[in-house]
Amino acid sequence: VPELQAGSCIMPAKVNPVVPEVVNQVCFKVIGNDTTVTMASEAGQLQLNVMEPVIGQAMFESIHILTNACYNLLEKCVSGITANKAVCESYVYNSIGIVTYLNPYIGHHNGDIVGKICAETGKSVRDVVLERGLLTAAELDDIFSAQNLMHPAYKAKRYTDESEQ
C-alpha cells in the first residue's frame, strides 16, 4: 500500500492504510444511509410518501461519496500497489486446491489421491504429481503457466483412462 502519511513513531517502517480506512468509513456512512432509506420507505402511506426528500438525499449522497471513494482508492492506493510475483506464485503452487485444475490431465481419482497425500504430508501438488509420475515437469510448467491459468486451453495430453470418466 503506498505511503501517504507518516507512519507510527513506535513502528518506523509501518505504512498506514489510510485510503482503505477512508473507504471503510464511507461504506459505514452508506450503510447508515441505506437504513435511512429503509425506514423512510416504511414510513410512507400508500403511494404518498412524505419521506421522499430524505430518501432521495440519502441515496444521492451514497452515490456521490461511493463514487469519490472509488476514484480515491484507485488513484491513491490501487495504482500504487505492485504484486510480489514470487509470493503470488508460491500461494498458487502450494495450494492443494490447484489439484482440481489437473483433473483433465490426471483424472479425478488421481487428483483425489494427490490431494490427500498433499494434505497428509505437506508436500506441494507439483512434488506429489512428479513423484507419482503422473506428469512431467515440462507438462506441469505448461499447465501451470500464468497464461494457461488465466486462459485455460488444456494444451497438454488429456487424461484418457475410460474407467475414470
85-164 folds as: Ribonucleotide Reductase Protein R1; domain 1 (1.10.40)
Where residue 46 falls (left for φ over 0; alpha for ψ -120 to 50; beta otherwise) is left
Percent of the chain predicted with pLDDT > 90: 56
**Taking the model in full, what pTM does it have?**
0.59
CA angle 90, 84, 2 (to 5 degrees): 145
Which of 8, 41, 90, 95 is the catalytic position?
8
* Count of CB atoms situated within 10 Å of the CB of 102: 25
Catalytic residue check, 62 = no
pLDDT given for residue 115 in this prediction? 94
Average pLDDT over residues 7-35: 90
The secondary structure element, H or E, covering residue 103 is helix 103-106
Comparing C-alpha atoms, which of 102, 96, 111, 91 is closest to residue 141?
A: 102
65-96 residue pLDDT tens: 999 999 999 999 999 888 898 998 888 888 99
**Which residues, listed in sequence order, are joined to residue 48 by a DSSP beta bridge?**
45
Distance CA 104, CA 19 (A): 43
How is residue 71 written as a grid cell? 476514484
Residue 28 has pLDDT above 60, yes or no: yes
